[in-house]
A and B are shown apart, each in its own frame.
Chain A
Amino acid sequence: MQLDPEGNETAVLDELLPDIRGLHVLEIGCGDGRLTRRYAARAGPVLAIDPDPAAIATFRDTIPSTLRRHVDMRTGTIATLGPPRRAFDVVLFAWSL
């Protein structure tokens, strides 16, 4: 399967968030990191979470080495992250609301 090879999703994300450079991102429902890979290189630190441990394992196994430094992927939900603190510039619900 090829998902969004046209890049429509990335184009609209860029339109709504033109400058993501250096921003701290919390991505909810990252799955195997399909979308994370498309923006993370331009963002600051990314915390990507998903309730599915298999998806997170796939993400961990397949993430490009260039992104490993600043993408932290974890199994969980926004409810299990602990007490909220104002730490992020962007909270991204990736098809997960």
Chain B
Amino acid sequence: MVDALQRAHGWLRPTGCVLDAHPTAEPAYLEVQLAAGIVAVGRVNDIDGQAGPSSRHARADAALAEAVTRGWFAIEARAEFSFHRHADSVSEMRSHVQGKWKGAALDESALQRAATLRGSEPNARLWVREQVSIARLRPLEQPGTPPVMS
């Protein structure tokens, strides 16, 4: 990851910038929107210590921090936003997480609770919400640090 940032530095014009978006360390939540409000029924859990989302996102944070420490970039701006993945059914959500999320899974009990809530309110909406951090990085002068291949 640090290597990717160093390569990005090499591809940028001096006036350019890097934009990096990746989820924060906060878990992703399975939520149901009812007329009375939003109910969090469970979260996406890591099932693989190394490949799970928490580990990946922590490594991305560490890579950004190292690129700044090494003097390749300065962070100019940061923001956070909520990213929602809406499903039309509980089974669609289950398939999506199983197919698209490496090293992570939703608890079956959370899916069952979501199904129950949706059964009680036909217009209830179902989503997984992730908090995502985005940063704009300005390249600094090439520091002359030897390449680091991770």
Contacts and interface: CB of A to CB of B under 8 A. Distances in A.
Interface in A23-76: 26, 28
A11 to B, nearest CB: 7
Interface string B74-90: 00010111111111000
A89 B64 CA distance: 19
Contacts, number: 116
B11 A9 contact: no
A91 B84 contact: no
B71 interface: no
Contact of A97 (B5, B11, B82, B85): B5
Contact of B11 (A11, A15, A91): A91
A94 B21 contact: yes
A93 B19 contact: yes
Nearest to A84: B10
A9 B85 contact: no
Interface in B1-60: 1, 3-5, 7-23, 60
B11 A26 contact: yes
Nearest to B6: A84
Helix, strand, loop or mixed for chain A's interface? mixed
Helix, strand, loop or mixed for chain B's interface? strand
Contacts of B115: none
Nearest to B63: A97
Nearest to A6: B84
Given A6-B84, A86-B14, A87-B11, A93 B21 contact: yes
A6 B9 CA distance: 32
Contacts of B79: 12, 15-16
A79 B1 CA distance: 11
Given A88-B13, A90-B17, A95-B22, A9 B81 contact: yes
A1 B87 CA distance: 5
